[in-house]
Structure 1
Amino acid sequence: MNAVVKPAPPIEDPRITVPVGTPADLLDANARAFLADLHDRFDARRLALLATRRSRQAAFDAGALPDFRTATRSIRESEWRVAPLPAALRDRRVEITGPVDPKMVINALNSGANCYMADFEDSTSPTWDNLLTGQRALREAIDGTLAFTSPAGKRYALKPEDQRAVLIVRPRGWHLDEKHVRIDGAPMSGALFDAGLFAFHNAHALAAKDRGPYFYIPKLQSMEEAQLWDDVLAHVERTLGLPAGQIRVTVLIETLPAVFEMDEILHALKDRIAGLNCGRWDYIFSYLKTFRRHRDRVLPERAQVTMTQPFLKAYSELLVQTCHRRGAHAMGGMAAQIPIAGDDAANDAAMARVRADKLREVTAGHDGTWVAHPALIPLAKQIFDERMRGPHQHAMTRDDVLVDRDDLIAPSIGTISRGGFDGNVEVCVRYIAAWLDGNGCVPIHHMMEDAATAEIARAQLWQWLHYADDGHAPLHLDDGTAIDEALLDRVLLSLPSKLAGQAIPGAARVPEAIALLEDLTHRDTLEDFLTLPAYARLD
């Protein structure tokens, strides 16, 4: 490893501002200068790529369909492979995901999973306190000093290092700003802040242990967005004196445009990529958003949009085939179920659904899977241990998979029940209320809901309600009730009394959440992300 030369403390740069009282050990002058350099070098490209996203969506709104790119056919058809996997990422059969508060960090690292994805994105409400607490917790975990004592006096401590999960950090996507760090008055990219600050503090300690740094990259829509990440991380390596390719990434394929560029995304990152992941919940949300104006591709209620739907089956199997051809891991998706205490029959049914989902994944050729709750780790591990005897399944090339454009965008068959409609409203309101209160990961009706699952519910409500635009007849519930604004208003009016007396996160912000959901669903255009208008309300 190259010798590290500590730079002299830079002169305070008046262009860079952070909130008064920000801990100096996390954001001293060196750290701020490092972040400002990332902003200066890369933010203009980020903003240009976001503009390209908007243009692309406008074409979809006008009737265009996503497809494979003709100009990159040679990348898809030629033979090449990604860099060999590091030892720490060869076996990833079970990964746990969750937010970055100290208790979660300890429990996840101690959970028995192979890897822990520490999530600054969909599972974390990005209050300034949450972000700094998360960065500190991860730094202390890497140092081995992290401990936590609950208000009830229960103490949490890390297991020995050789018994901990491998840490992988998910920064926010390119679309999110970090308003608390401003450079020349402009907000910094949340992605650059999260990844940059984590690397600044921890890259050398992790590299010395042969543990990365490792990142999960979210929300990509194109090879150009992947190339931007590669350029950012290469610059981080040079600046911090790390070997080229020391930082490794796994990319979540969780947008519909990205599924048509999986080879290109792997190629753009081929010297540092370890795999692709089926980010199923955000992928469903992206399908809804991409086809928000396509009346022939309206999805049924969320419970019916399972991985057996043709467009999702095609997506997951093409991902396996693509990854294994290139020597990369094909990671399965999230099991959002959580154990149900006090109801054995309901719990058995929930665990049966998890078992069937993980069996589907390992049989299809996935090299690992995700769970949201530590109690699901033994179940997922048992299924993968029984059917994946080696560290991965790269030899399963899935040459039988023949997927074209139409398979990946196939319409779905199903219905919308009153329970499905009401459930979407409740999930949206409860999640938004919790998020505004600083909690980005919320158990609701025995499912671990995060921003991705809430986005499905919110986008479905908008699309169902706006189906009658341009002269179409409205959609109906399976009992014949018209889906219109009057139906939504009735459900919203009844919700406060339904939730009254329940100990739910963010209960005091339920009225604010109702008002925000009402605004978002009545708008003429589907908002790209609910977290964009909600972020303005966070501290």
Structure 2
Amino acid sequence: MNSLIIERTDAPPQAAPRSSRTGAPTTGSFATVAPRIEVTGAAGERYDEILTPGALEFLAELHDRFAHTRHDLLAARLQNRVDAANGRDPKFLPETEQIRRDPSWRVAGAAPGLEDRRVEITGPTDRKMAINALNSDAKVWLADQEDATSPTWRNVIEGQLSLFDALRGDLEYTSPEGKQYRVARDIRETPTIVMRPRGWHLTEKHIRFHDRAGRDMQASGSLVDFGLYFFHNAAKLIELGRGPYFYLPKLESHREAKLWNDIFVYAQDRLGIPQGTIRATVLIETIQAAFEMEEILYELRDHCAGLNAGRWDYIFSIVKTFRCRGRRWTLPDRRQITMTVPFMRAYTELLVQTCHKRGAHAIGGMSAFIPNRRDPEVTERALQAVSADKRREASDGFDGTWVAHPDLIPTARAEFDAVLGDRPNQVDRLRDDVAVTAADLLDIPSAGGQVTEAGVIDNISIAIRYLESWLRGVGAAAIDNLMEDAATAEISRSQIWQWLHENTVTAEGTRIDQTFIVAAMGDAVRGLPRFEGDRFDDAIQVFRSVALEPEFPTFLTLGAYARFL
């Protein structure tokens, strides 16, 4: 392991000289200055172009100013979970009612390159996937350092290198088979990049921060991802006619949104970027955030472009929040929880209404169906499902949507083209017909449906197969013609935990207990596609720890990251 330590100075930030893109990985240690930020991750080829003294100085400043507030907010999350377990429901906050009632304020809205977001492609930031996204016909690429990325040290830093190179016209990749990939257009003509850093709950264990009181802690994954990208690329993005744009994941309160806004204000001032240049789109993917959408927009109003309906994490949040509240809160098989069940429809309609009321874009979520170029029948089913999903979103007032595969872009775009025509969005559609109440958002029994034995086995199989992929460093995996990421795996394992602890009985009459789960795991494991170098044994261990233990880990990747990555 190589170590880099740096203390803050008053020197202006400077980019390091470019190094060769070929040749052996870097093996020497980084320079050592003084104990402020310590990089314990191994040095790789060109890592020194991202982990420059100026960039690490910037990370130290971000942690000095904001790390302790982050800790306080995570503690508040814990208290909210305790309150929910004890029967206290989320609610619209009485102390912020004036913000909701005030009709005068608006968010900053679209910035250059974000006016038309009718189709956005999501995906990790490895070089091949980045090139495919930038060569697509999407309007936006969500460059995902979070749920679609396994946060290995290599993925974190080389993802930053992919973005760095893309913005300078230097992104290329040669596969092990010798196939060459490169971006086919000028970067000004490619989809606008919106980078998603890791959520507040995640750390970067390969970078340690030593605070002024002498305390040593792992760096915040959010601050590392944001800080490195912003430091190296903000000025370049402006030069290209775009800007530093971000998707903000996993927020649970407007106080967490305020922390991001404070970081934006500081970062722009620190690097001489005009205030208001940053644009953020917040993913509403927790039940807590659904009750604070207007307040979140308000806190970020000078830097906000819109909200996104992060449907899969939202379902996970429902299970996690109410998992101990009795059978009334138990959801059916994952495949039966569609976007048309009443509580999900209430969530999306409130999001569109809230966004348009404040001049923000409402961006739809990702259908999990993906095409299979080797199976026309699977592809046709996927296209039909995606078409119906995007037709509903466009008709409901969304201004754009997500897809996970380039082949789905024409289908999604056709549905939004049919509603938008030549208009870039439909923010002027106010949805005054919507009147969503707290009871609507919490009407979990409205999902109906059943828990089946097949649903139990599906959840076990999906969770284990995804975890195996994640442990190998692949954070987005095609499983049974669905795109699975950390959010969908969370639904799968959290439902298993809830069904087990609520003594749920399947539609076939079988009680879901430890004996049944272990037998179902045996059925699932026997069908796993074993291969040399697989991580299934480790994945099974992780699954047992997050789905079968009495305590419920808040996120399935936390322990796995600490132990394996």
TM range (shorter): over 0.9
User: Is 1:91 aligned with 2:116?
Assistant: yes
Mapped pair 1:526 → 2:547? no
Instruction: Provide the C-alpha distance between the structure 1 equivalents of 2:405 and 2:540, rounded to a whole number of angstroms.
Output: 28
Cα distance in 2 between the residues matched to 1:312 and 1:84: 25
Q: 2:476 aligns with which of 420, 426, 441?
A: 441
Structure 1 residues 237, 349: CA separation in 2 closer, same or farther (over 3 Å shift)?
same
Q: 1:327-366 to 2 correspondence within 5 Å?
A: 327-366=359-398
Q: Deviations over 1:426-471 (max 9, x none)?
A: 011011111111111110000110000000001100000000xxxx
Question: Paired residue for 1:13, among 34, 41, 57?
Answer: 34
Give the 3-state SS of the residue equivalent to 1:242 in structure 2. Answer: coil
SS of the residue 1:274 aligns to: strand
Q: CA deviation at 1:345?
A: 3.2
Indicate conservation of the 8 Å contact 2:315/2:491, yes or no: yes
The residue type paired with residue 457 of structure 1 is S
Number of matched pairs: 527
Aligned counterpart for 1:291 among listed residues 313, 322, 345: 322
Structure 1 residue aligned with 2:65: 41
Q: Does 2:166 align with 1:160?
A: no
Greater shift, 148-157 or 14-23, is seen at 14-23
Q: Which residue of 2 aligns with 1:223?
A: 254
Which amino acid counterpart does residue 360 of structure 2 have in structure 1?
A
Which of residues 202, 207, 210 is equivalent to 1:176?
202
| Structure 2 Cα separation of the partners of residues 193 and 538 of structure 1 | 20
Aligned to 2:527: 498
Query: C-alpha distance in 2, partners of 1:106/1:136?
Result: 13
Query: Hey, what's the Cα distance between the residues in 2 that align with 1:16 and 1:139?
Result: 22
- Read off the aligned partner of 1:245 and give its amino acid letter: G
Shift of 1:500: 4.0
Superposition deviation, residue 16 in structure 1: 1.7
User: Are 1:96 and 1:372, in contact at CA under 8 Å, matched by a contact in 2?
Assistant: yes
* Corresponding letter in the other structure for 1:478: A
Q: Is the 8 A contact 1:122 1:451 kept in 2?
A: yes
Instruction: Indicate whether 1:419 and 2:454 are aligned.
Output: yes
Q: Distance in 2 between matches of 1:8 and 1:100?
A: 24
Distance 1:7 1:287 in 2: 43
The residue that corresponds to 2:78 in the other structure is 54
Q: Distance in 2 between matches of 1:404 and 1:321?
A: 13
Deviations along 1:83-108, one digit per CA (max 9) or x if unpaired, are 24213111000000000100011110
Q: Secondary structure at the match of 2:138?
A: coil
Query: Is 1:292–1:526's contact at 8 Å kept on the other side of the alignment?
Result: no
CA apart distance, 1:293: 1.1
Question: Which shifted more, 80-89 or 387-396?
Answer: 80-89
**Aligned letter for 1:165?**
P
Q: 2:22: which partner in 1? A: none
Which of 459, 468, 487 matches 1:452? 487
Q: 1:315 to 1:432 in 2, by over 3 A?
A: same
> Which moved further from structure 2: 216-225 or 153-162?
153-162
CA-atom RMSD in angstroms: 1.7
* CA distance 1:459–1:8, change in 2 (3 Å): closer
* Whole-angstrom CA distance in 2 between matches of 1:7 and 1:217: 25
- The answer on 1:481 being equivalent to 2:510 is yes
Distance in 2 (alpha carbons) for counterparts of 1:522 and 1:499: 20
Aligned equivalents of 1:306, 1:12: Cα separation in 2: 54
Tell me what 2:358 maps to. Answer: 326
Deviation at 1:176, TM superposition (A): 0.4
**Closer, same or farther in 2 for the Cα pair 1:50/1:164, shift >3 Å?**
same
Structure-2 separation of matches of 1:8 and 1:322 = 41
- Partner Cα separation in structure 1 for residue 32 and residue 509 of structure 2: 68
Q: Output the CA distance in 1 between the equivalents of 2:321 and 2:297.
A: 23
Q: Could you say if the C-alpha distance between residues 8 and 114 of structure 1 is closer, same or farther in structure 2, counting changes exceeding 3 Å?
A: closer
Deviation at 1:227, TM superposition (A): 0.2
How big is the shift at 1:11? 8.2
State the Cα distance separating 1:342 from its structure 2 match: 4.2
After superposing the two structures, state which structure 1 stretch, 220-229 or 431-440, moved more.
Answer: 431-440
Q: Percent identity?
A: 48
**CA, structure 1 residues 482+242, in 2 after alignment: closer, same or farther (shift >3 Å)?**
same
Q: Which amino acid letter does the alignment assign opposite residue 435 of structure 2?
A: L
Deviation string for 1:171-223 (max 9, x for gaps)?
A: 00000011111012310100000000001110110012231100000000101
Instruction: Report what 2:157 is aligned to.
Output: 132
Distance in 1 between residues matched to 2:248 and 2:375, nearest whole Å: 38
**Aligned with 1:317: secondary structure?**
helix
1:300–1:415 contact (8 Å) kept in structure 2: yes
Q: Which residues of structure 2 form unaligned runs of 5+?
A: 1-10, 16-30, 211-215
232, 237, 250: which one aligns with 2:281: 250
Q: Does 1:516 align with 2:542?
A: yes
Given that 1:355 and 1:383 are in contact with CA atoms closer than 8 Å, whether structure 2 keeps it comes out as: yes
Q: Is the 8 A contact 1:11 1:29 kept in 2?
A: no
Partner of 2:24: none
Aligned-partner Cα distance in 2 for 1:439–1:360 = 31
Aligned match of 2:102 = 78
Letter in 2 for 1:167: I
Secondary structure at 1:89 match in 2: coil
CA positional deviation for 1:335:
1.8
Q: CA deviation at 1:481?
A: 1.3
The change in CA–CA distance for 1:299 and 1:7 in structure 2 (over 3 A counts) is closer
Q: Structure 1, residues 24-47: CA drift from partner, whole Å, max 9, x if none?
A: 221122111110110111000000
SS of 1:435's partner is helix
Distance 1:8 1:334 in 2: 38
> Could you tell me how far 1:6 is from its partner in structure 2?
3.4
Q: CA deviation at 1:497?
A: 2.6
1:470 matched residue in structure 2: none
Which stretches in structure 1 are left out of the alignment for 5+ residues?
468-473
Deviation at 1:347, TM superposition (A): 2.7
Deviation at 1:499, TM superposition (A): 1.4
Cα deviations by residue, 1:217-237 (Å, 9 ceiling, x for unpaired): 000010100000000111110
Q: Any conservation in 1 of the 2:120–2:140 contact (CA below 8 Å)?
A: yes
Secondary structure (helix, strand or coil) at the match of 2:170 reads coil
The answer to whether the Cα contact below 8 Å between 2:197 and 2:221 also exists between their aligned partners in 1 is: yes
- 1:119 has 2:144 as partner: yes
How far 1:351 sits from its partner (Å)? 1.6
Residue type at the aligned position of 1:183 = F
